Amino acid sequence: MTNAVTPSGRDVDSRRASDSNTHPQDISNWSPMRRDFMKVLGVGMGSLSAVALVGCGGAEAQAVPTAAETLRAQLLANESFWTAVRGRFVLNPQKVFMNIGTAGSMPQSVLTRFAAENQTYAVESQNGYSNFLTQRTAIARGTGTLAGRGFGVEPDELVVSYNTSDGMSKVLLGIPWDRGDVVITTNQEHPGGDVPLGVAVERYGIISRRIKLPVGDGTVMLADGSMAPHTAQLYYTLFRNEVLAAQAQGQKVRAIMWSSPTFLTGIMLPIDQIMRVCKEFNLISICDGAHLPGMMAYNYADLGVDFMAGAAHKWQCSPGSTGILIVRNRARPNAAATLPPYFPVVTSSANTTLQAGSRPFRTGSTTQTVPWSQRGDYDIAAAIQSIGSMHVPLINGVAQACADWDSIGRKDIETYVLALSAYAKARIVDIWGAEALSTPRDPLLSSALTSFNPFFGLDGTKALIRRSTATNATVTASPSSRLVTLLGERNLVVRNTTVPRLTAADTTVNEFPIRLSTHLWHGPSQVDNALALIRSTAIEVVAAAS
């Protein structure tokens, strides 16, 4: 991971390569402030390579930042650089937008290109029959000269989808399931993955088993009523134990489906720990990575995940109704041994070349698909991408937004938004206490989403938002819903969610935290002001309810 702030005196496009390729001698030349910032984030002089996977569980737990003042000082150290980055956006200055987890904002470069190409599209009556190889190549491999750009995969593995839900549907309904196959998932999945999984359950007769995820910071309760430290290693144990439990019951586990991060709490389920389980049992890996593009600077090939569906319109700030779908198309060291079979469920130009061992799309068809084992030389992404005439300006808008991210530096973006999230968590602990957090502070489990109970301690019972009663069992009926409405009227845009929290052996109650998104256009002062407004408004809600 690179520093959250770039050295002064360098513009966005002329910085040196990302710190994932930085040598110790380079570090020695950094300013003391910059070195201290890396230490705050848990980066020692010998651990830069490990930090590249922070957030997906790729390194041992680093020191958790606890001093909000130190984080704030470091976030402001190169404020001029990030001010210039914020100048790329056209956001309403009267509002503070902290719900990027729902929708981002196109930068001016994307707006300009999108508008111009729409005009040309109409004037020239253009069509969109293409597999968009040029755009997929630029997005997958990146643009510019910075190291660590793009998504780290080949263009035959990247699809510009319509959104995360579109990608998840194409994945779950394109795998040839057998009746009785088990998919292990969690109790915090988004409907974008849950609904197509349910369709597959009804259509193919597969079985879903759900892990009840722990919630909170520090020591958390598990489904069996025991307590455990909330660490990345815990998730390896939870997923592995669920596989073993299913096998003990005579079930055939075929896949694991999970979210990184979960949309309810922002917990970054550690990808590398879950992939350890997938690799050990040779399971299909399906990740709902809705928030990953634009937030995390992952090399997706290194993660080894078979399928990962993400949004482009959220943190990546592409036009609405766009997503990034990654489909593994070759053997990789961190992946399961077998490439899972897959058939495009929406396509208009799949390969029609007949090959030995190929399976027909339907009985009696003369059009056949290439066996997965032979797809190293077959552009499966093109088959998924080619669905008739698509909107070319929309696809180019995604390519432009991704090029913007490459020019700023994906590693710098990741580090900045995570540092800002760590600052928000530290301030929440200062104001409400650690028990208010739904999201852990462990860097290996942290994303740029932060969920917390803004009513914690305000009603004497420290549980107003956690009640599960007939009148307060849904997010729309919760006090946090009223809070979100009032905050919106006061020009702070956030959202709330419904989170099932374990309270005793195999039982849960709903809680309704506020979810904050910290992004490029935020700074620590906006976090401070937002938390102060949330606190004062929460007090009003409590007073009105008493």
Q: What is the pLDDT of residues 99-121, one digit of tens each?
A: 999 999 999 999 999 999 999 99
- Residue 135: count of CB within 10 angstroms of its CB: 22
Residue 164 predicted with pLDDT over 70: yes
Residues 123-140: pLDDT tens digits? 999 999 999 999 999 999
* pLDDT the model gives residue 509: 79
Average pLDDT, the chain: 81
Q: What is the pTM of this model?
A: 0.83
Say which range, 6-20, 188-202, 255-269, 395-409, has the weakest mean pLDDT. 6-20
Q: Are 251 and 313 in contact (CB under 8 A)?
A: no
Residue 140 tokens, joined:
């997958």
* pLDDT the model gives residue 257: 98
Mean pLDDT of 315-333: 93
Q: Are 259 and 290 in contact (CB under 8 A)?
A: yes
Mean pLDDT of 368-382: 62
Residues 293-310: pLDDT tens digits? 999 999 999 999 999 999
Radius of gyration of the chain (CA): 23
Distance CA 35, CA 33 (A): 5
The answer for 513, left when phi > 0, alpha when psi is -120 to 50, beta otherwise, is beta
SS3 290: coil
Residues 190-199: pLDDT tens digits? 999 999 999 9
- Residue 407: count of CB within 10 angstroms of its CB: 22
What angle, 0 to 180 degrees and rounded to 10, lies between the N-to-C axes of helices 68-75 and 524-545? 130
Say which range, 219-223, 239-243, 320-324, has the weakest mean pLDDT. 219-223
Give the percent of the chain with pLDDT over 90: 59
Q: How far is CA 211 from CA 25, 73, 190, 307, in A?
A: 45, 40, 14, 20
Distance CA 413, CA 117 (A): 28
Q: Which of 410, 411, 390 is nearest to 135 (CA)?
A: 390
CATH superfamily of this structure's domain 412-545: Aspartate Aminotransferase, domain 1 (3.90.1150.10)
Q: Which of 95, 105, 72, 8 is nearest to 523 (CA)?
A: 72
Residue 185 tokens, joined:
């998932």
Amino acid at 370: V
Q: Are 493 and 499 in contact (CB under 8 A)?
A: no
SS3 167: helix
Mean pLDDT of 483-490: 95
| Parallel/antiparallel/unpaired status of strands 514-517 and 495-496 | antiparallel
Q: Which of 189, 245, 247 is nearest to 213 (CA)?
A: 189
- Residue 489: count of CB within 10 angstroms of its CB: 9
Is domain 150-358+379-403 in CATH 3.40.640.10, yes or no?
A: yes
Residue 496 predicted with pLDDT over 70: yes
Residue 471 predicted with pLDDT over 50: no
Distance CA 420, CA 34 (A): 16
Greater pLDDT, 74 or 22: 74
Q: Are 325 and 161 in contact (CB under 8 A)?
A: yes
Residue 275 predicted with pLDDT over 50: yes
Percent helix, percent strand, percent coil in the chain, to nearest 5 = 40, 15, 45
Distance CA 370, CA 232 (A): 38
Residue 220, strand partner residues: 228
Domain boundaries, the chain: 150-358+379-403, 412-545
Mean pLDDT of 336-353: 77
CB-based burial label for 332 (10 Å; 0-12, 13-18, 19+)? middle
Distance CA 366, CA 3 (A): 55
Tell me phi and psi for residue 471, to 5 degrees: -100, 0
* pLDDT the model gives residue 512: 87
* Strand ranges in 343-401 using DSSP code E only, listed in sequence order: 359-360, 368-369
* pLDDT the model gives residue 72: 82
Residue 304, strand partner residues: none
Contacts of 154 (CB under 8 A, 6+ apart): 140, 141, 301, 329, 330
User: What pLDDT band is residue 383 in, cutting at 50, 70 and 90?
Assistant: confident
* pLDDT the model gives residue 218: 86
